[in-house]
A and B are shown apart, each in its own frame.
Chain A
């Protein structure tokens, strides 16, 4: 059954120190004065005193055997006597160093890529959009030749003269990039998408073959046609970048801290 003390811990601490004569003269005097008049303090002090005496009277136990050392005992290497502590601490230190190295590598890689990239100030979606737009520009015939009324004619020409159209349209694209073999089979199927949205000028994306990286095409299409604002995508990337940054620096800081603690622990064990 618990009977919490009626006095606050600070007062109990004072009484406990008073019991052991560990207060300054001034404090000793103050406590003595209070004890003389305060019944609660008296009861608490008597209780602490009784308990301390009880512990002090605990019996001494006889040693179960002699602990004298033999030449064999002192010749055993230290690491066999207490095998786990030091090697464990040192292995923790090594793990911490690896953690720091890993974090620094991510940070330095990120810094290097940012320095090398011409569009380092852009978000990923902006960079992808720019690259896709440039691909679309290069792989598309001049806009003046691809006005909306001419699209139907162009399609008809492609259907009737596929080889000619292929040669005509694919030529500029080859200067940009070379599609994979699998995509080459589909080169003859030019992709034309007209977006006759009401109130907006028709947007035309023309490509003689699908983009070598389907992600680029789909992303560019999404960017142009989707109602979702680009800001959401940019924000997501920003969050991901911040998370990566914090993870990398976090691993460095935690690694340094763990390393110091581990080496310190091993050193202290060896000092014992």
Chain B
């Protein structure tokens, strides 16, 4: 019963999305902005995890929607989220290449810590030291992801953070399934080794297994 309801909601959403895409492809900016509101969080988080910086991720997200609007006529149907994912990963690759050529300190790194880091709080009033510990863990994990090669980073984020299937990643990156498998495996091995170096930050259950 619940599954049927969920399927109906999903189908309705897809129908709505298809209609919006059709309208947007005729130049209807309002229809396209409705699509932006549907997907901006996913695209921004993907860019943020790949790039590791909020400002860069925001730039990449904006550029993604601008490109998508201009290239909407090339969208041949199918998974619109995956299509946007392909655009944002290409933009992230470009930005990573640019960063590699011109390494610079991020303003975010120099600025004081942001209180709102989006961390889901388990209780209404967490202890300050717990919040600090969780924040440190977030930074450590992101640092481990940032240490990966760009292709491994994108594959890991798409698979383990954004829950894309191997086939979707292969389509998105235009590589074979074997390549995706290999990239994800290597990325996981590298991040695992990296996290073993900051075991004290990990929750106890993970600390024992890792």
Contacts and interface: CB of A to CB of B under 8 A. Distances in A.
Bound pair: A and B? yes
Interface of A: 1-5, 9, 12-13, 15-17, 20, 22, 46-56, 58-69, 71, 73-74, 78, 81-82, 85, 271-272
Interface in B86-110: 87, 90-91, 94
Interface of B: 29, 32-33, 36-37, 40-41, 43-45, 48-49, 54, 58, 61-63, 65-67, 69-71, 74, 87, 90-91, 94, 116-120, 138, 141, 156, 159-161, 163, 166, 177, 181-182, 184-186, 188-189, 191-193, 195-197, 202, 205-206, 209-210
Contact of B163 (A1, A4, A54, A56): A56
B195 A61 contact: no
B193 A59 contact: no
B94 A49 contact: no
Given A54-B141, A58-B161, A67 B181 contact: no
A68 B193 contact: no
12 contacts: A1-B196, A2-B196, A48-B188, A54-B206, A62-B41, A67-B43, A67-B58, A67-B61, A68-B65, A69-B65, A85-B94, A271-B74
Contacts of B189: 5, 9, 12
Contact of B181 (A17, A47, A69, A78): A17
Contacts of A49: 209
Contact of B36 (A55, A64, A68, A271): A68
B17 to A, nearest CB: 16
A74 B138 contact: no
Nearest to A14: B185
A61 B196 contact: no
B188 A50 contact: no
A69 B184 contact: no
